[in-house]
Amino acid sequence: MKTLTRQDLAALAKQQASSPAEWIRVQLDTGGIAAGADSVRTALEHARVEQKRPFSLLRVGSVGYSFADPVIEVQSAGLPRILYGRMTPELVPALLSEQFDGGRLLEDHTIATRKRSLTIDAPVTHILVRDTSSDIGNKTAFFQSSFQEELKRRGLEHVQVVRALDMGIYDEGAVVQLLPSPVTYTNVLAPDVARIVAESVEANRVIDDLIWKAPDKQTRIVLRHSGQVDPDSVDDYLQRADGYQAFAKSLFELSPEGVLAEMKSSALRGRGGAGFPTWMKWKLTRDQPAEQRYIICNADEGDPGAFMDRSVLESDPHAVLEGMMIAAYSMGASQGYFYIRAEYPRAIERVQRAIDQNRELGLLGRDILGSGFDFDAKIRLGAGAFVCGEETALIASIEGKRGTPSPRPPYPSVRGLWGLPTAINNVETLAIVPAILLKGGEWYAGHGTDTSKGTKVFAVTGKVRNAQLVEVPMGTTLREIVYEVCGGVLDGKEVKAVQTGGPSGGVIPEKLLNTHISYESLQELGSIMGSGGMLVMDQGDSMLDVARFYLRFCVDESCGKCAPCRIGGYQLMQILDRISRGRGKADDLPLIDRICHAMQKASLCGLGQTAPNPVISTIRYFGEEYQAYIEGGPSYARKIKRAAVDAATAAPSTAPVSS
């Protein structure tokens, strides 16, 4: 590969990206591969060679629809891009013959696009239908046949009616989406079928009283390339994603001060959880007189139930690397480290490949693009210690020691890795940086609330209908995320609480779901933003159990260096265990309170300070559950336990129904 020059990059910026006319993109991230994306890809490759089909088979990262893994996206002549979920190798022959030969879509696997149109610009060729009201007594098939009959009556048999897998709209009755202009109608009733066919299909007119006008709640900035570019190819990133243009702009048009000014106007705050202004962290590191400075990308995503960082690294490693290079330039760092969990082999592989490709292209190394800026990046592996997400512990781990935190100050921006100034940024933070420099800080600050700008990625999991990655502007309410984006709770149950921030966060009860998300608002509720895990719990989940789960996690992960965390956590655990056996005492709750406060005040690092959060917040909002255990005694505890076992055996199916 030949070395890239400044002129090459400038030429790439002007060049229109050329894509093949027909392609299939297979989303190969860890989740997708676990669900069988590899075998789908192999089947597609075989079929392509055997049937001599002209489409290109591309690999991309995930768009984040974990509920529908494995997901593929298909572009065929005369059709818009179609996403298919829950693919299997057996479906491949049908897919190819239906879509590429017949221009028809697969039943039950199509995922409707979220980019909904308000006008019909082209004759309707396909109609997607799905009854979103509930999974029981589903009327999707009825609507499909009604549409088919109506179309037949009017001689429009060429329009295909397809049962969709997911519409992106929930609890709005029957939802209908027309293609190729994705006009979407909701709460469609049987009499509306004839109207839709007459007005929209025949006359291309929009029906105003049915159309769904609400724009998509999601704004994709961090996930802008996820599922769009090949994570293994720097060429794809350069040609189709404005790759390294932001870096070139920083080098040649902006000074390091210019980059900092742009970051300041974007008001981006660290996405790792604490929310420290990113530009300030960089400036503090820059202002420290030193021969050598370091930048570290913290990808030690240890929260159970969170997979945002993994998904970003697997889908768009070059964006994170570019963000790191820009950060390094702005603060004068010449060496960067990716600290990645060893449990994420695919992310490690893709980041390593991105680094290797950049070294070959001369984007890493000495005198990059002839600018005189030197920078190189390396990977360091984590080894399964949650506390290493804490920055001083992370630094100790990179130095090859036990990952025990040390007191701050001095902060890492003053004395960090090997005693030199170091900036540590989260994966998500760095992935945003190139977008900010390309589109401007003002543009970024246009999203979000007054104090928390921009967007945030959440991994919504638990008892939610569609577990997935969600990127929403700050200020979106929790209710919107859980109900409108992810479709509410499984089996039509009610949300009891939402847990944010993993083991360091707290629970937010259903009555407070209308809270607008920002760093401050979540803190007021006794939770934290955290890195973005969001766990939905339904009425059947015991809060005491959840608090014990998180506390046990923190007790296991405590490094044992400071007493409040080591001893306090263990004692707290003993008390909670006792309560859950129905052996609690009347003065247990005040005792828990005292231990929690001691831990928050006296622990050395974030792990110990935040470990009591799940306990405090569950007591705050669900204190009556604790009280019931204490007053009810062992017989009550046994009753609850038996009820939970009964519920589990009565409803063994936890898999979402796909009809």
Partner 1 sequence: MGVSLSTELFMKTNPTVVGLEKISLKNADESAWIETLEQMEQENGFIPRDVADEIARLLEVKLERLKRIQGKIDSTTHQEIKHHVDHWRNEEGNLIMILHAIQNQHGYVPREVAMELSRELGVKLARIYEVITFYHYFKLQPPGEHEVTVCNGTACYLKGANRLIDEIRVQLGISEGQTTPDRQVHFDTVRCIGCCGMAPTMVIDGKTCGHMKSSDIAEHLAKITAKKETAA
- Please report, as ranges, the residues that interact with partner 1 according to CB under 8 A: 30-31, 33-35, 66-67, 69, 302-307, 310-311, 342-344, 378, 380-386, 397-404, 418, 459, 461-463, 467-468, 499, 502, 533, 535, 537, 541, 546, 549-550, 553, 559, 648, 652, 654-655
- Buried b / exposed e along 129-165 (16+ C-beta atoms within 10 A): bbbbbeeeebbbeebbebbbebbeeeebeebbbbbbb
Our CB check for partner 1 shows the closer of 118 and 381 to be 381
Our CB check for partner 1 shows the closer of 32 and 475 to be 32
Our CB check for partner 1 shows the closer of 243 and 614 to be 614
| Gap between the Cα atoms of 500 and 506, Å rounded | 6
Closest contact distance (angstroms) between CB of 157 and partner 1 is 37
Our CB check for partner 1 shows the closer of 220 and 310 to be 310
Our CB check for partner 1 shows the closer of 342 and 591 to be 342
Our CB check for partner 1 shows the closer of 56 and 352 to be 352
Closest contact distance (angstroms) between CB of 226 and partner 1 is 15
* Contact predicate 85/102, CB 8 Å: no
Closest contact distance (angstroms) between CB of 498 and partner 1 is 12
| Gap between the Cα atoms of 615 and 507, Å rounded | 9
Judge residue 372's burial from the number of C-beta atoms within 10 Å of its C-beta, 0-12 exposed, 13-18 middle, 19 or more buried: exposed
Q: How many of the other CB atoms lie within 10 Å of CB of 179?
A: 23
- Structure-token match 């499984």, residue found: 490
Nearest to 499 by CA among 484, 490, 489, 509: 509
Closest contact distance (angstroms) between CB of 296 and partner 1 is 12
Phi first, then psi, for residue 243 (nearest 5°) are -65, 135
| Gap between the Cα atoms of 69 and 505, Å rounded | 28
Closest contact distance (angstroms) between CB of 501 and partner 1 is 11
- In 562-635, where do the E strands start and end? none
Strand duo 56-60 + 23-27: pairing: parallel
Distance between alpha carbon 581 and the CA centroid of its chain, in Å?
37
Our CB check for partner 1 shows the closer of 47 and 459 to be 459
Nearest to 533 by CA among 495, 484, 499, 509: 499
Closest contact distance (angstroms) between CB of 412 and partner 1 is 15
Nearest to 328 by CA among 272, 403, 378, 268: 378
Closest contact distance (angstroms) between CB of 314 and partner 1 is 9
Our CB check for partner 1 shows the closer of 264 and 380 to be 380
Angle at 13 between CA 8 and CA 17, to 5 degrees: 105
Residue 50 CB-half CA count within 13 A:
9
Closest contact distance (angstroms) between CB of 407 and partner 1 is 19
Our CB check for partner 1 shows the closer of 252 and 418 to be 418
Our CB check for partner 1 shows the closer of 382 and 434 to be 382
Closest contact distance (angstroms) between CB of 195 and partner 1 is 37
| Gap between the Cα atoms of 428 and 312, Å rounded | 7
* Contact predicate 189/147, CB 8 Å: no
